[in-house]
Amino acid sequence: MAAIHLSNPVTDLYGVGPSAEEKLAKLDIYTIYDLIAFIPWRYDDWSKVGTIGSFDMTDRIDDSTGYDLSFRGTVMTNPSVNITSRKKPLTFFVSDGTGRIKLTFFNSPYLSGKFSVGDECFIHGQVTLFNGQMQMVNPYIEKAEKIADDALVRPVYHLTAGLTSSNISKWVSTALKLCGDELLSCIPLSIAEQKGFVSPKEAYMMAHFPASLEDARRAREQLAYEELILLGIGMKLYSSGHGVKEIAEQVIPSGPNAISRDLAARWNQIKSNLGFTLTSDQTAAFRDVQTDLMSTTPMNRLIQGDVGSGKTMVAALSMLITALMGKQAVLLAPTSVLATQHYKTISALMKNSGMEPVLLLGKTKASEKAEIKDKIAAGEAKVIIGTHALLTDDISFNDLALVIADEQHRFGVKQREKLLFKDEGKDGTIKSVHNLVMTATPIPRTLAMVIYGDMATSVIREKPKGRQEITTWFVNSKKSKAIEEMMSVKLAAGEQVYIVCAKIDKDETEAGSDYLVGEPVGGDESVTSVFDMKKQVDSMSNLSQYKSAVLYGSMKEKDKLETMERFIAGDIKILISTTVIEVGVDNPNANVMIIMDADRFGLSTLHQLRGRIGRGDKKSYCLLVSESRSELALSRMKMMCESSDGFELAEKDLELRGPGDFYGTRQHGIPTLRAANLYTDMKIATEATEAVNKIIEQGGEEAERLNESIKKMFELRFARKMEQL
Ligand code: ADP
Ligand code: MG
């Protein structure tokens, strides 16, 4: 057999076939390294052994409530199958000297030959009452001599259907044996020594197969440290250009009389087209941008502001001032719906200014595209709006000075690089453009530092005046009659409604959406899909008279746009969609949003979705519908009902998510983390990256070692994924 390396596909491991490969891919695991890095998200501690007799079942709430118990006992009766019962359970009794308990197994006929009277066993499971008798159903059971005391901390992995924690354990164990030595440490020696860190291989051993919870905790800490260094430093090394001086054009001249009277008049025209005055946060953000545009150091600025806070207006003004100064500005939107909307807003702003924007989408007709590209190349088009279509190689700009990306996290890092249109100059400098990024997913400052490095931030906190608070309720579907009625009242008043579902149809979910790991209550089957909902709505006596339509990501662009336009025009009254509407859609007449299976979404997504309503002057309602009783889901719903502050919710979101949450990181446009928690480990992140930066700056042997191992490990672990993001 050929040697196996960290970069080999998981299928090179014995026992991982095509079906396992598919399941692992769902967990974002493709290579051996991915598998090793997939550390348990929690552990079951079976090491505290109890006794049957110490169990007091009198305070049980109901017969189905169970209590965890690990114990050692002796088999008292030979396993026998109850053939009169339909499910043919296998049962036998065990005793530990303090009491006896009945074990019941379904679908486990092999156990009958494995255990017999007198065997000493280790058992872990839930004790429940059945007909007044203590029993355990499908507990873990093993011969006592086979259970080492130090194997009683059991790893639990975030899983997808069809995989078990013991599958993962087995594969990881092999993977670590074969390639564990290829793992290079990316932590400075001085820090490793001070913190008592072990080699990466040992740390992974400890995380996957801990002897105690304390070992598991220490391993996770070390791996989080390493992961944050990899991300923080590796990202920088990877996105290159490091240390090279970059320059951009000075867009706005400084000094007295730099701006002609004619320009000033045109600028005033634009401002009067606004129709409102900017909020003070908008004014401050725009002033930040103007200051940046006066410099030849490329702007690298992030505008953070909640949905509806008026970021787009700041972006629009930034583009227009650039255009007035005779240079080109690009606005990139993640969807054609959004790009079209921006185009309309900006066209209105530019009325009577003597300039016109252009719009370039993937679906723009070839002849029209060619015309637009000519205009761009000739410098005739100065305000350019579009989607990814703008990133194709055959577009040449005349004098591009500013690139704005809306909802940045939707663009991958590599694409982001491309947007900056970096060009190598003669004198070793790199010619770049000013870069402005707008995001409505507020990123806590420390996290922004890790992801974007030294990006400057402007924050828009204050909302435009005249906005009404949105009332949010958490309800379960038993209230469907009441939900239906409230919808019909609003619809009768001429208003419109969004209904958001977690699935498109029976088995399709929206690509890239922020669903949580874990099984839905009542199984995946119970999740209401867009098409289920459409059927329901069309059959409800109060609602069927109103026109409804579906919207989801994989629809044809043309159909999506048309549906959106008809909804905004008021022709469609009820829009039933997936999270595609999360980004930027603006219909001030839609004041009700029903979010089905709300427990399936993260806080940030819920907040983004809710931001679609409350845009007009009418009272708005958001209904979160869920059957979930999980504590985590309930606390998210409670937060949503209590807060409308996106920043507060974002921080809470990170806090509620476990370490290495899959979707939380992806949402921010960074690759999956397995050990680090973006919220709780932020102090480590800053500490670790600062320490490494310092060493690398000083140079020397240790700097070289770190440089090399970080680059190598980053390539292996994250680089390919960055391309995919
Ligand atoms: P964001 O991009 O932050 O979600 P937008 O820029 O799309 O927000 O603004 C949301 C809505 O508020 C738009 O309809 C816009 O015209 C309006 N708006 C923006 N700024 C103001 C303001 N200062 N006063 C009143 N309305 C505003
Ligand atoms: Mg916007």
Where do we find the tokens 């359970």? 89
Please report, to the nearest 10 degrees, the dihedral formed by the alpha carbons of residues 160, 163, 165, 170 taken in order: -140
> Does residue 357 have a pLDDT over 80?
yes
Residue 8 is predicted with a pLDDT of 93
> Does residue 267 have a pLDDT over 80?
yes
Ligand nearest to the CA of residue 303, numbered in listed order: 1
Residue 672 is predicted with a pLDDT of 72
Identify whether the C-beta of residue 617 lies closer than 8 Å to the C-beta of residue 278: no
Cβ atoms within 10 A of the Cβ of 627, count?
A: 15
Ligand nearest to the CA of residue 304, numbered in listed order: 1
CA angle centred on 175, ends 665 and 125, rounded to 5°? 75
DSSP-derived letter for residue 391 is G
Of 459, 483, 464, give the one whose Cα is nearest residue 536: 483
- Taking the centre of ligand 2 as the mean of its atom positions, its distance from the CA of residue 679, in whole angstroms, is 26
Q: Whose CA is nearest to atom 24 of ligand 1?
A: 464
CA angle centred on 465, ends 463 and 471, rounded to 5°? 70
User: Which residues lie across from 69 on neighbouring strands?
Assistant: 125
Rounded Cα distance between 621 and 616, Å, is 12
Average pLDDT over residues 698-709: 92
- Taking the centre of ligand 2 as the mean of its atom positions, its distance from the CA of residue 87, in whole angstroms, is 57
Best mutation site among 280, 302, 312 for ligand 1 pocket (most ligand atoms within 8 Å of CB): 312
Choose the weakest-confidence range: 49-53, 449-453, 669-673: 449-453
Give, to the nearest 10 degrees, the angle between helix 165-179 and helix 200-208.
Answer: 160
> Does residue 194 have a pLDDT over 90?
yes
Average pLDDT over residues 321-344: 90
627-645 confidence digits (pLDDT tens) = 887 788 888 899 999 988 8
How does DSSP assign 200-266, residue by residue? HHHHHHHHHS-SSHHHHHHHHHHHHHHHHHHHHHHHHHHT--TTS-EE----S--STT-S-HHHHHH
114-144 confidence digits (pLDDT tens) = 888 999 999 988 888 777 788 898 888 888 8
- Taking the centre of ligand 1 as the mean of its atom positions, its distance from the CA of residue 48, in whole angstroms, is 58
- Average pLDDT value for the chain: 83
Q: Which H or E run includes 94?
A: strand 90-95
- Taking the centre of ligand 1 as the mean of its atom positions, its distance from the CA of residue 309, in whole angstroms, is 6
Rounded Cα distance between 590 and 568, Å, is 9
Q: Whose CA is nearest to atom 26 of ligand 1?
A: 464
Where do we find the tokens 């949003």? 593
- Taking the centre of ligand 1 as the mean of its atom positions, its distance from the CA of residue 575, in whole angstroms, is 22
Rounded Cα distance between 485 and 479, Å, is 10
Residue 108 is predicted with a pLDDT of 76
What is the pLDDT confidence band of residue 659, given thresholds at 50, 70 and 90? very low
Residue 293 is predicted with a pLDDT of 95
User: Which residues lie across from 405 on neighbouring strands?
Assistant: 332, 437
Q: Which amino acid is it at 107?
A: N
What is the pLDDT confidence band of residue 300, given thresholds at 50, 70 and 90? confident
Q: What percent of the chain has pLDDT over 70?
A: 85
Identify whether the C-beta of residue 348 lies closer than 8 Å to the C-beta of residue 341: no
> Does residue 488 have a pLDDT over 90?
yes
What is the pLDDT confidence band of residue 668, given thresholds at 50, 70 and 90? low
What is the pLDDT confidence band of residue 70, given thresholds at 50, 70 and 90? confident
DSSP-derived letter for residue 139 is -
505-546 confidence digits (pLDDT tens) = 766 655 444 444 444 445 566 788 899 999 999 998 889 999
Ligand 1 is surrounded, with C-beta below 6 A, by 276, 278-279, 282, 305, 307-313, 440, 464, 586
Atom of ligand 1 nearest to the CA of 316: 6
